[in-house]
Every structure is written in structure tokens, then in C-alpha cells.
Amino acid sequence: MKKTIRTVTAVLLAVCLIAGSGAAASAAGFEGYEPLEHRPLTESDLQYKGWDDDKFDALLERLEAMGADTPDSEFLDVYQQILDEYDELYNQYVLADAAYYADVNDSMAAEASDEMFDKRTDAEDDFFLAMQRILHGPKGKLLQSQLDPLWIDWIETYVEESEELEELYKEENRLVQEYYSAIAEAEENASDDEEYYEMANELCGPIFVDLVQVRDQIAEWNGYDNYYEYAFDSYGRDYDPEDIEILSEIAKDQIVPLFNEIYDTWWNLPYPEHAEDAFYDEEEILALIYPYIVDIHPDLGEAFDYLLENKTYDIEYSTDKASTGYTDNLPAFHSAFIFNSPYDSYQDYSDLVHEFGHYNAAYHDPMPAIYMTAVLDVAEIHSQALELLITKYADQLYGEDAPFMTIDVVFRMLNSVLSGCMYDEFQKTVYENPDMTLEEINDLAEELSYAYGMDGSGSEAYDWVDVSHNFDMPCYYVSYATSAISALDIWRTSLEDWDGAVDRYMQVTALPSDAGYLEAVKTCGLMKFTDKKAVERLINEIWYYYDVNYRDFFDTKEKHEPKLPFPDLSGKVDKAKDVAQSVLKALLIVAAVVTVLVVAVIAILWKRHKGEEISNQTPPNPGYTEDPSGISSFYQELRGNTQSVTPEEEAAAGPAEDDFVSE
């Protein structure tokens, strides 16, 4: 954790500065990806083998020893070998992680994962300190020619951590581990949801209070007024905290009513059993989504083919797996590894589309791992926008469940915006007031849950401890909100101008991985979430979409007159209506005598029947998000809080368990 934050800080401080340097995308639109070599992989390539620092250290030493008389070509050759060797280290780091998450009870795998984390940290330290010395040596000018000026600045000012700071990071890491143990303890001992939340809060709350103190000191050591400001910079955000405040106000005032309306419809739509019945294993989902991904843009097919051929994933169901999903780069292969612990539920479709969005971006990313970074606000556009775009094919993919599967994605994006803003305000308040008591923190959580429409768990004051990001990835959550706004922006455009929207999406995926959020949206012609009017227009257009396509599912209120030529999705609506109408017709035939009264009675009965059906579904908690893994992966996923298990699964899962679900 410590090193992750530090490394990210280092790299991302550079990000804002690098902005504008050589984006592959341009105003001209998507012009194809830069070609990169991708060799075929064997099974053994994907097995963790460990990594020895001997070669890396020797190469660094050799580079540093080069004098003015060493040919430039020799210097550059060794420099490239060092970058390649670090890529290999990163590959092994990712494979070790994947092995551990595949079986969280495997202590050898856990050890290997820790070891690779330390090796990576040490190698980074060695690398940057060596580069700093070389910059001041006879080959300084040559090295400079290989680096962006902002990286040069950063390397120049690179300092090894003081022992005191090192101790604080260790303490932080220890508290985070303590948090995971405490959560596991609550899971094991609580007999129902209410008891679980109370117990988890009682166990984890004091840990959080301690973490806030430790982080306050870390911020001070790093020259910041408070930890929120420190963390904000560490994620390479090229916008200001004030911009988030504006978005948060819009979220509370304007997105909450929309979210609630969509939530009601989402909740009342039939559970998508057809979508679940259609597959038995996760690879089948990959095969099912493949043609539609390629139809979105043929260039997405190259990465997908490579993924299928080389199987750089672990997506099968297993009870040994960590309950999470993520994608992390395999830079030595110019590829990535997808890890997902599936639910065997309808959510697996969206999860795999989401992860493929990350995979595709990684596949085309030429950045050496040592200079690699992930600006979450942009990386999550790669995944979230693809989830929305593929809803164009909902009829083909999901059949009669298309209306549910489509609104489900929109619903989750709005949830991301609301929960992202909520947890940001929550953490900002706490880190700015590091002496808050647990009681005050709980009160704050409760107040914000209602303000952001994220209430519903019944334990609003306590359930924030269930969101591991609050402990493990401080101040990270809001990036899901900013990216979801952009994803919705692309999707909204796609309803009117499919090709234009896809082009913008492809441009975002072709940006260098260190492009900042504002740079990305500007380059790709997307709206800025910092533009209040633009966000309000987006909200209105989602209202409009909802009104046109969903309002009359369960609502007889007068439909808004269409103002814009949105595509007509009424076919989907009609399918559901047909079902309802056929039930009514059948009843009417049996009744023989058709009177207005009878129709009314039947309608009421039918509605009641429907109500019973619905009440068997898992109650969703709009405010509930969860990620029990604590992975420090690049694309740590927001674990969803939406309807996720079938009634049978819910019954089988027992108390508390049913909440441990992810998107």
C-alpha cells in the first residue's frame, strides 16, 4: 500500500505535467492504434516464476559506470535492457498477485505476492536513484534526451524516504491489514445484516480513527496541510478539489431524483433469468460478447483475439478465489491479465465487458512499466463506456431481459457518480478534521448517505466500514464518479450519433496511459465534468431517455413528449408489455364476461402477483459498495451494490453473505 501510493504519487505528479505530450488521438478522430509487437504466449509464460534482481542491479551498475567515451548506442541499449527487465519484474509481480487471488488460502502464494511487491519497490528506488546520479554524470545529456522534461524534474528531486516516514507507512499498512482481519471476523460472527454492520463498525471504526491519525502525519511529512490534499495529488488529477464540490452539489440536487426514479424501475423489472440461463461458464460469455465488441469497432477485435488465443485471464468460478475483479498490465507482453471472481449471475456479462475495456487499453499501451501509470479518471472510461456502448446489442445478447440489462448499466453508472461523490465528501471531511471521533464519523456517514440517496441498507451510520476503499485506497472513489460522467456522455452521444460516439471512445482508449482527465476529454471532444451546465444537460438527456424508454413500464403518468430524435427502443418495451397483455387476455377469456370492473380487478390481482414475485429478489442497498480484497492493482474495481444474486442463491447464502457481492 505504502509503496503503491508513493509510486503512484511520483509517477502521477509527472502526469499533470506531461499533459499534451504526443496523444495518439487528435481532433481528427481515432486514427488507429500504434502497432506493437505481441508474441504468442505459452502456458508457462503465464505461470509465476519469481524474479531475481541480480541482472537488473548489474545493468544499472553498468549504465552508471559508463563514461563519456562509451558509445551512445551502447548506453541506450543497456538503458533499454533495464526497462525491459523492469517490465519482466512487473509481469512476475502481476502473475504472483493473480496466483494469490486465485487461492487466498495459499500461504506460499501470499508470500510470493508480498515478496514481489517488495522487489518492485526496491527496484524502483534503485532505478530512480541511479538515474538521478546519471543525470549529473557524463551521460546526463543523453539520458535527458530520452526523458520528458517533467520526468527529469521528478528524478532530480527524488529522495529516499526518511526512516520516520518509512515507519508511518509500515504502520499504515499494518492498520489496513488489521482492517481486513476485522471485517473477516465480523463476517464470520454476525448472524444478520444489522448485527454485521454494527459489529464491523465497532471493530473497524477505531482502526479507521487510527489510520486517519497516521495519514495526517504522512501528509505532514510530505509537506501537505492534510491527507486529502496529499492523496488528491497522488492520483494525478488535473482538476481541483473545488471541481468535485461542484459535481457533488449537482449529484445531490439533480442526480439523486433521477437515480431514485430509475431505481424504482430497475427494481420492478423482472429478474433477468433468461440472461443467466444463457451460459454455464465464463468463457462462454467471452464468446457471446465477442462479435458485438468487434461490431462496436473492428480494432477492438485484435486485442480480443489475443485475449482468447492466449488466455491471459482467470475468470472461472471458484470458492477459493478472492471476491474481486481487476485487470493489471503484463508489460513484458504488451498485454494484461484479467482476474474476475464471477457470480454466475447476469452481472458477469457487464463485468467481463468492463475488464475487456481495461485489457484493450493495456494491450495498446507502449509505456515501459517503470514510467507506467493509471489515471483512474480516464482508465475507468475505457471500461465503463464500453459497458454502456454494448447495450446497443442488448436485444441480441439478452433477449427479453434487454430492458433490465440496459437500465442496469445506466443505474450502476449513476450509482458510481453518487457513491463516488459521497465517499469523497466523507473522506475529505474526515481528513480535514483528523480528530473526529468514531461517533462523529458515523454521524457524518449517515447524514451523507441520505444526502446522496445512498441510504437503504438500514445501517447508514455504520456501513461505510464495509467499503474497503475507505481504508485501503483513500480518496480514490471519486474517480469512479468522474469517469462515469464521461462514460454516460459517450453513451448519450451514441444514441444520436453512434459512429461519432464510438470514435470518441476509441480516441480515449488510444491516449497515452498517463494522459490526465481534462486532457483526455479535451482531446477526445467529450464534456468536462467540471462544466456545470454540460453535466445538467447530460442529466436532462438521461431523464429524457428514461421517459421515452422506461417510464410507462409501470407508470401511467403522462409521458414526456420527445424533443430530440432519440432512437426508438419501444420495441423492447413492447416485449414486456406483450407478456403483461397476454396474461390479461387469458384471464379475460376465462372470465367470459368482460366488464370494466373485471378488468380492474384482474389488473389489481396481476399487480399483486407481480409484487410477490419481485419481493423474492435480493433487496438492493443503493448505498452499499464492497471490495473485500484490497488489491493494489491498477484497475481496482468498484464493487457494485446492485441486485446480484437470485432468490435461491440468497436463501442458500445465509445471513450477511448475501451482501458480499461485487459488480
- Any contact of residue 339 with Zn ion (CB under 5 A)? no
Report the 3 state secondary structure along 314-362: ECCCCCCCCCCEEEEEEHHHCEEEEEECCCCCCHHHHHHHHHHHHHHHH
Written as nine digits, the cell of 514 is 498517463
Distance in angstroms (rounded) separating the CA atoms of residues 597 and 608: 17
* Part of the chain binding Zn ion (CB under 5 A), chosen from 220-228, 577-585, 594-602, 634-642: 634-642
Single-letter code of the amino acid located at 200? A
Backbone angles phi and psi of 29, in degrees to 5: 100, -175
> For residue 304, what is its C-alpha cell?
480480443
DSSP string, 365-415: ----GGG----HHHHHHHHHHHHHHGGGGHHHHHGGGHHHHHHHHHHHHHH
Shortest Cβ 630–Zn ion spacing (Å): 16
636 touching Zn ion, by CB under 5 A: no
Q: Applying CB under 5 A, does 635 fall inside the site for Zn ion?
A: yes
Least Å from the CB of residue 382 to Zn ion: 8
**CB 377 → Zn ion: shortest distance, Å?**
11
> Rounded to the nearest whole angstrom, what is the least distance from the CB of residue 317 to Zn ion in the complex?
20
Q: Is the dihedral of CA 425, 427, 428, 433 positive or negative?
A: positive
Site for Zn ion in 536-575 (CB under 5 A): none
- Closest to Zn ion by CB, 82 or 515: 515
Q: Tell me whether residue 197 or residue 635 sits nearer to Zn ion (CB atom).
A: 635
Alpha-carbon distances of 629 from 174, 265, 429, 522, rounded to whole Å? 15, 31, 25, 34
Shortest Å distance, C-beta 635 to Zn ion = 4
CA distances from 149 to 21, 142, 152, 469 (A): 11, 13, 5, 33
Contact window for Zn ion (CB under 5 A) among 53-61, 265-273, 343-351, 379-387: 379-387
Q: Which is nearer to Zn ion, 623 or 640 (CB)?
A: 640
Name the residue nearer to Zn ion (CB basis): 382 or 551. Answer: 382
Least spacing, CB of residue 358 vs Zn ion, in Å: 6
Q: Which is nearer to Zn ion, 204 or 338 (CB)?
A: 338
Q: How far is the CB of 365 from Zn ion (least distance, A)?
A: 15
Q: How far is the CB of 594 from Zn ion (least distance, A)?
A: 54
Binding part of the chain for Zn ion, among 42-50, 214-222, 380-388, 426-434 by CB under 5 A, reads 380-388
Can you read off the three cell numbers belonging to residue 347? 452481472
Q: Which stretch binds Zn ion (CB under 5 A): 298-306, 476-484, 544-552, 636-644?
A: 636-644
229 vs 328 by CB, closer to Zn ion: 328
- Residue 355: which residues within 8 A CB-CB, separation 6 or more? 325, 326, 327, 338, 340, 383, 635
Q: How many residues bind Zn ion (CB under 5 A)?
A: 3
> Judged by CB under 5 A, does residue 477 bind Zn ion?
no
Q: How far apart are CA 198 and CA 460, in angstroms?
A: 10
Least distance to Zn ion, CB of residue 176, Å: 21
User: 61 Cβ partners below 8 Å, 6+ apart?
Assistant: none
144: buried, middle or exposed (CB in 10 Å: 19+, 13-18, 0-12)?
middle
Q: Provide the mask over 587-626, with x wherever binding to Zn ion is found by CB under 5 A and - wherever it is not.
A: ----------------------------------------
The smaller minimum CB distance to Zn ion, of residues 325 and 622, is found at: 325
- Residue 383 makes contact with Zn ion by CB under 5 A: yes
Residue found under cell 445538467: 536
Nearer to Zn ion (CB atom), residue 172 or residue 637: 637
- Which one of the spans 272-280, 298-306, 532-540, 633-641 is the region binding Zn ion (CB under 5 A)? 633-641
- Provide, rounded to whole angstroms, the least separation between the CB of residue 383 and Zn ion: 4
- According to the binding rule CB under 5 A, does residue 359 interact with Zn ion? no
Minimum CB–partner distance for residue 637 and Zn ion (Å): 5
Whichever of 265 and 644 has its CB closer to Zn ion, that residue is 644
Euclidean distance between the first and the last CA atom of the chain, given in angstroms as a whole number: 23
The stretch among 434-442, 552-560, 601-609, 631-639 that binds Zn ion (CB under 5 A) is 631-639
Chain mean position to CA 33: 23
- CA separation (Å) from 331 to 98, 365, 366, 371, 373? 15, 8, 8, 11, 12
- Phi-psi domain of 661 (left: phi exceeds 0; alpha: psi -120 through 50; beta: other): beta
**Among 415, 349, 361, which Cα is nearest to 387's?**
349
Angstrom distance (rounded) from CA 269 to CA 352: 23
Nearer to Zn ion, 354 or 551 (CB): 354
What is the rounded CA–CA span in Å between residue 143 and residue 492? Answer: 46
- Phi, psi of 212, deg, nearest 5: -60, -40
Could you tell me which stretch among 238-246, 267-275, 453-461, 629-637 binds Zn ion (CB under 5 A)? Answer: 629-637
* Residue 633 binds Zn ion, judged by CB under 5 A: no
How is 468-523 classified by DSSP, letter by letter? THHHHSTT-THHHHHHHHHHHHHHHHHHH-HHHHHHHHHHHHHS-TT--HHHHHHH
Q: How far is the CB of 350 from Zn ion (least distance, A)?
A: 11
Q: Given the rule CB under 5 A, which of 36-44, 79-87, 198-206, 375-383 is the region that contacts Zn ion?
A: 375-383
> Which range binds Zn ion by CB under 5 A, 15-23, 171-179, 378-386, 557-565?
378-386
Classify residue 108 as exposed, middle or buried by CB count within 10 Å of its CB (0-12, 13-18, 19+): exposed
Q: Does 340 bind Zn ion (CB under 5 A)?
A: no
- The site for Zn ion (CB under 5 A) is made up of 383, 635, 637
